[in-house]
């Protein structure tokens, strides 16, 4: 096993290591993250990102849904029903097509950033890099439900803001 593979193994953790290791090595060989299907990305979306400790992209995923709705509302001067249908179409397109096709690539890019941090913090110290990646990588099943609950409560609060009666 190469040093790069040891670093990937430490970062990925024990869940689906072979799958992600093969994808990361393929991406390294190509020089870019290839498009591939991710079933957890389809069914779990933001929860999968949080589970894989990709918190920044989890927040971006959470924010994209209202942003798409706002953009469609502002850009398209359609009737209320047509706008709602187009918003739904855009959201389904993002959640059921775009994200599952790019989820592995997002995870790969996050992994590259983490490897870069480990190498900067511990230059030429493979064991320290592996230890760092083991702590900061892997999966996180403990706080996912808390984070998702907080985000859903925030979304619920924002969507239920009373509007002034005219």
**Predicted confidence (pLDDT) per residue in 44-72, tens digit:** 888 899 889 898 998 898 888 788 878 87
Tell me if 161 is assigned to some domain.
Answer: no
Tell me if 147 is assigned to some domain.
Answer: yes
Tell me if 166 is assigned to some domain.
Answer: no
Least reliable range by pLDDT among 80-84, 141-145, 162-166: 162-166
Number of domains in the chain: 1
pTM: 0.81
Task: Please name the residue that has the structure tokens 């193994």.
Answer: 9
pLDDT above 90 as % of the chain = 49
pLDDT above 90: residue 88: no
Tell me if 162 is assigned to some domain.
Answer: no
Alpha-carbon torsion, ordered 149, 151, 156, 157, to 10 deg? 110
Tell me if 28 is assigned to some domain.
Answer: yes
> Taking Cα atoms as reference points, which of 47, 80, 37 lies closest to residue 88?
80
**Of 70 and 41, the one with more pLDDT:** 41
- State which residues form the domain around 56: 3-153
Tell me if 25 is assigned to some domain.
Answer: yes
**Of 23 and 154, the one with more pLDDT:** 23
Tell me if 14 is assigned to some domain.
Answer: yes
Q: Burial of 23 by CB count in 10 Å (0-12 exposed, 13-18 middle, 19+ buried)?
A: buried
Tell me if 89 is assigned to some domain.
Answer: yes
């Amino acid at each position: 096993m190469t040093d790069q593979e040891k670093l990937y193994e430490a970062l990925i953790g024990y869940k689906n290591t072979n799958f992600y290791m093969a994808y990361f090595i393929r991406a390294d060989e190509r020089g870019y993250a290839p498009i591939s299907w991710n079933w957890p990305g389809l069914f779990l979306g933001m929860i999968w990102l949080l589970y894989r400790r990709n918190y920044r992209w989890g927040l971006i995923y959470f924010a994209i849904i209202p942003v798409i709705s706002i953009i469609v509302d502002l850009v398209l001067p359609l009737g209320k029903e047509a706008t709602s249908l187009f918003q739904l179409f855009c959201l389904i397109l993002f959640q059921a097509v775009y994200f599952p096709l790019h989820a592995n690539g997002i995870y790969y890019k996050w992994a590259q950033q983490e490897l870069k941090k480990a190498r900067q913090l511990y230059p030429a110290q493979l064991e320290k890099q592996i230890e760092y990646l083991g702590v900061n990588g892997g999966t996180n099943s403990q706080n996912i439900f808390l984070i998702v609950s907080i985000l859903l409560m925030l979304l619920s609060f924002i969507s239920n803001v009373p509007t002034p009666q005219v």
